[in-house]
Amino acid sequence: MRRMRCLQICDMAYPFLRSYTTLVVAIVLVLRGAIVYIYVVRELVRMPYIPSTNANGNI
């Protein structure tokens, strides 16, 4: 009876563990994407200052 219950719990936990691993991988990928995105946005924000000063003629 007790062993049967343990097997049931293991059967329930296995897909959950697999989905949890997938979730962790997804979170890591999203975080990496976010870091790259923030870096690119920062670079793009830093760059336009040069053309804007040229457009204003304040060289």
Quick: pLDDT tens for 12-52. Answer: 778 877 888 888 999 999 999 999 999 988 888 876 665 55
**What was the pLDDT predicted at 14?**
81
pLDDT per residue as tens digits for the range 50-59: 555 555 555 5
28: amino acid identity, one letter: V
**What was the pLDDT predicted at 51?**
57
Report pTM.
Answer: 0.46
SS3 sequence of 1-59? CHHHHHHHHHHHHHHHHHHHHHHHHHHHHHHHHHHHHHHHHHHHHHCCHHHHHHHHCCC
**What was the pLDDT predicted at 59?**
52
d(CA 52, CA 31): 32
The residue assigned the tokens 């897909």 is 15
**What was the pLDDT predicted at 11?**
79
